Amino acid sequence: MSERQKLSPSDWWATSIIEMKPGMIRYRGYAIEDLIGRVGFAEMVYLLTRGELPSKPAAKLLEAALVAAVDHGPQAPSIAIARMAMTCGVGINNAMASATNVLGDVHGGAGEQCVELFNAVAARLPEGARDAAAITKAVTEEIEALAARGIKHVPGFGHRFHHLDPRAPRILSLVDEAAKEGAVSGLFAAIGRTVEDVIAQRRGGKRVPMNIDGATGVVFAELGFPPPLCRGLFVLSRSVGCLAHAWEESQSDYRNKGPIPRDQIWTYTGPGPRQVPE
């Protein structure tokens, strides 16, 4: 019998997150009735995922990142899928799950890889080095390492729709404020900006601006979130938009609304009409 199989039933789902008895609920040691009305949703997310309540400036940054990504309209696959799923007669939870399932490496989920990149750059910096030349060298080496692995699109940069993603500069300005107050180091904001500069240098001066995943990636890296959690945080945020769009679509009289209007048919690229062989 393995060590795991020897566990008592009470240890089977052992967790440091929540303690519960009839009439008692504690998250990480704090009574729920003390948290309710005192902490915001972002602080609760931080407490549950990180084990401690965040400082006020950290909570403000996390809140900003969660607010920034809630919705990107029905041209974002996640939002379109939430709406389309709803018209198929599924429940709102199914619509939200279908939508968040497409938050992958290219759409919405790039934050995880972006934080991995920022952390890898930070790990390349010589002990204590924070100057622009050292950061540029570390970023260049890391982008070259990505290219050697066949990754041409640097995660967290570029956007299908916006030439300049309006969310990114605002988020970075909040990180700058927090760094000035000494609440975060500001190192990852510098790394993010340098990544943008190095991409431009490699493209003969053509810039590929930081997108929402890059900017929230800066926040998450500054706050020390492990990369896989960053994707989850984006999913949490985007779930709000998926919920709102699924609900709005459910109020329409559409049933089974396809991805394009039914009178617009796709381009067929296969063989012409032919006989089924005998």
Ligand X SMILES: CC(C)(COP(=O)(O)OP(=O)(O)OC[C@H]1O[C@@H](n2cnc3c(N)ncnc32)[C@H](O)[C@@H]1OP(=O)(O)O)[C@@H](O)C(=O)NCCC(=O)NCCS
Catalog residues that contact ligand X under the rule CB under 6 A. Answer: 106, 110, 152-160, 199, 208, 211-213
Least gap, CB of 122 to ligand X (angstroms)? 19
- The DSSP bridge pattern shows strands 24-27 and 30-31 to be antiparallel
Least gap, CB of 158 to ligand X (angstroms)? 2
Least gap, CB of 142 to ligand X (angstroms)? 13
253 vs 245: CA distance, rounded Å: 14
215 vs 192: CA distance, rounded Å: 8
Least gap, CB of 95 to ligand X (angstroms)? 21
Do residues 61 and 224 make contact, with C-beta atoms less than 8 angstroms apart? Answer: no
Contacts of 239 (CB under 8 A, 6+ apart): 96, 100
172 vs 61: CA distance, rounded Å: 10
Strand arrangement, sheet containing 24-27: 18-21, 24-27, 30-31
Which residues are registered as beta bridge partners of 31? Answer: 26
Q: Which is nearer to ligand X, 58 or 114 (CB)?
A: 114
Q: Which is nearer to ligand X, 87 or 216 (CB)?
A: 216
The DSSP-derived string for 212-274 is HHHHHHHHHHHHT--HHHHHHHHHHHHHHHHHHHHHHHHTSS-SS--SS-TTS-PPP-S--S-
Q: How many CA atoms lie within 13 A of 54 on its CB side?
A: 26
Least gap, CB of 49 to ligand X (angstroms)? 22
What one-character DSSP code corresponds to residue 2?
A: -
Least gap, CB of 208 to ligand X (angstroms)? 4
- Comparing every residue's Cβ against ligand X, the nearest one is 158
Torsion of CA 217, 207, 203, 186, to 10 degrees: -40
Contacts of 221 (CB under 8 A, 6+ apart): 115, 118, 119, 122, 188, 191
Q: Which is nearer to ligand X, 54 or 158 (CB)?
A: 158
Q: Which is nearer to ligand X, 135 or 210 (CB)?
A: 210
Least gap, CB of 202 to ligand X (angstroms)? 8
Q: Which is nearer to ligand X, 142 or 213 (CB)?
A: 213
Q: Which is nearer to ligand X, 90 or 236 (CB)?
A: 236
Q: Which is nearer to ligand X, 158 or 192 (CB)?
A: 158
